[in-house]
Amino acid sequence: MSEPIEPIGGLGGGNTQQVASEPATEPTSFDFASEDSYGQFFQSLPENLQAHDTLKNTKSIHALADQLVNAQSALGTKRLQAPQEDWGAEQWDDFYSNLRPADNEYSVPDAEELSFEGAPELAEETLQELVDFSAEMGLNQQQFDQLYERYMGMAVEGTEITAQQTEQAVTEHRQAVQLEWGEKYDANLAEANQAYEALSSEIPELKELIESDPVIANHPAVLKVFHRIAEVSGDALPLAQNNPTSGFASENIHGIKSAIQELDTVNASLIMSDPSSLSMADRTKRQQVLDQRAKLYSNMYPSG
């Protein structure tokens, strides 16, 4: 007997055919994190895509998806074109405008932000020149900070070197004069100061010149000129007042002390003597020494 024919198709089995029953198949699962799964996917790609290193070095479908997301994010970020050799001024300015702070308003670091101490205070004009130069070079804020610190560091180094050179020159000048004047150094220096104070009080420009540079103030020629003026003028010049800001005038107190010490040494026995035991001539001389001594002290510690 033949197999029964089951109706299929429409209602009432409008069409009839013999159907062989087949077992149903389970859907295949796909592991997107697997290197093997990615390998199958990679092999299905056209050869021109397989040639790209990015696809070659990718390990999984998940990794490929991450790369796609990151690439999309990067496309949304502004990216600067690398400078080209044939760029003109306008292209360079446009490039630098992306690096400079807005309106070229650089923030100047505070002194405590620097890696050293003793930084000088820049004049407004000097600081503006530094800012303008930084903007012209297209520096960003971080680069400006580095430039500013280096600039200030060089200023400090220059100041220290100048101070050392000045001190050395002043020492050499004084030693030269001391060698030439010998034992008369303190006395001659005091006289030079008297002449200087007298003339500088009448000629302010002279005071400004001498006291602006300790090398000039202690130069042997300058000291000898004022000493010579003191010799020629004699008692016509007023006594000098100590002026610590002046190079050679700062030696005034030292000169007066030396003069007092010399006076005490030469006349020690006379000063320490009992006046009643002295002759009239010695009494008079002793009083003159004491008056001269008192006058030196008054010059060293003026009251006015």
In a domain, 295, yes or no: no
Range of the domain at 108: 90-156
Instruction: Give the H or E element holding residue 16.
Output: strand 15-16
The crossing angle, in degrees rounded to 10, of helices 204-211 and 185-202 is 130
The pLDDT tens digits of the residues spanning 24-80 come to 555 556 676 777 776 777 777 787 777 777 777 777 777 766 776 665 665 545 566
This prediction has a pTM of 0.43
Domain membership of residue 99 (yes or no) is yes
Residue 180 covered by a domain: no
Confidence of residue 247 (pLDDT cuts 50, 70, 90): very low
Report how far residue 213's alpha carbon sits from residue 250's, in angstroms, rounded to the nearest whole number: 13
Look at residue 199 and tell me whether its pLDDT is greater than 80: yes
Q: Does 283 map to a domain? A: no
Domain-embedded: residue 144: yes
Give the pLDDT of residue 282: 82
Question: How many domains does the chain divide into?
Answer: 1
Provide the b/e sequence for 148-174 (b: ≥16 CB within 10 Å): bbeebeeeeeeeeeeeeeeeebbeebb
Q: Residue 6, by phi and psi: left (phi above 0), alpha (psi -120 to 50) or beta?
A: beta
Residue 262 has pLDDT above 80, yes or no: no
More confident: 243 or 154: 154
Instruction: Check pLDDT > 80 for residue 15.
Output: no
In a domain, 234, yes or no: no
> Bigger pLDDT: 5 or 183?
183
Q: Within a domain: residue 101?
A: yes
- Domain assignment present for residue 125? The answer is yes
